[in-house]
Amino acid sequence: MSIPFREGSRRYNVAPTQTIIAIVRGEDGTPEARAMRWGLIPPWAKDAKIAYKMINARAETADQKGSYKRLLATADRRALILADGFYEWLRPEDRKLPRVPFRFTLADGEPFAFAGLWTPSTLDGEPVESATILTTAANALVAAVHDRMPVILAGPDGERAWLSPELDAPAAQALCVPFPAELMGVSPANPLVNKVGAGAVEGPELLAAPD
């Protein structure tokens, strides 16, 4: 995932368990931005390792899963996860070769919001806020690389609706549909995006395939 942070601090390769920017309903009901950990850590979790298994949640079954059901039904636990692109990887026929990354964006290059769920928790006596991104079936563009895609909400109207207390769980799920393929674009990304953590590259060169 790549995130349009303020000028000079943009992220080009955000990996699970790292910091993402989420817009949530504040205490007064107005939207506010918060930094959160990517990978849900439920209040009952005993350690943070579970976050690696909860970076994504299937929208079709979120209302049936104990960790997501209450969050989906509550506007105060739904979130807009900000980004301007996401990566998917194509696995070559020769499994000995590395996967090939592609970056998906909106056709106009503008930032957008994924549909997310979030929860506060406490680990080792310290408060932590974490989030997961809902996924749906891939549209025709993404399907060439992967069979699933993140739920991209349909512009300002969809984003406002996602945070609305008037939406119950079924209505929220109804927003979780594949974003129109014709409104998206795709381009090869630099394989350096495959490396995260120590020694990882973090810059605009990740957005272009190497010569």
User: How many Cα neighbours within 13 Å face the side chain of 9?
Assistant: 5
**Chain segment 149-189, per-residue pLDDT in tens:** 999 999 999 999 999 999 999 999 999 999 999 999 999 99
DSSP β-bridge partners for residue 58: 135
pLDDT at residue number 6:
45
DSSP class per residue in the chain? -BB--STT--BS---TTSEEEEEEE-TTSSEEEEEEEES---TT-SSGGGGGG-SEEEGGGGGGSHHHHHHHH-GGGEEEEEESBEEEEEPPSSTTSPPEEEEEEETT---EEEEEEEEEEEETTEEEEEEEEEEEE--TTGGGT-SEEE-B--HHHHHHHHT-TT--HHHHHHT--PPPGGGEEEEE--GGGG--STT---SGGGGS---
CA dihedral 19, 25, 30, 36 (to 10 degrees): -10
pLDDT at residue number 109:
92
pLDDT at residue number 201:
67
Q: In angstroms, rounded to a whole number, what is the distance separating the alpha carbons of residues 24 and 27? A: 10
pLDDT at residue number 200:
65
- Tokens (6 digits) for 161: 């609706």
pLDDT at residue number 195:
73
pLDDT at residue number 47:
87
97 Cβ neighbours under 8 A, 6+ residues apart: none
pLDDT at residue number 5:
47
Residues of the chain with pLDDT under 70: 1-9, 196-201, 210-211
Which residue from 80, 207, 201 is spatially nearest to 150, judged by alpha carbons?
A: 80
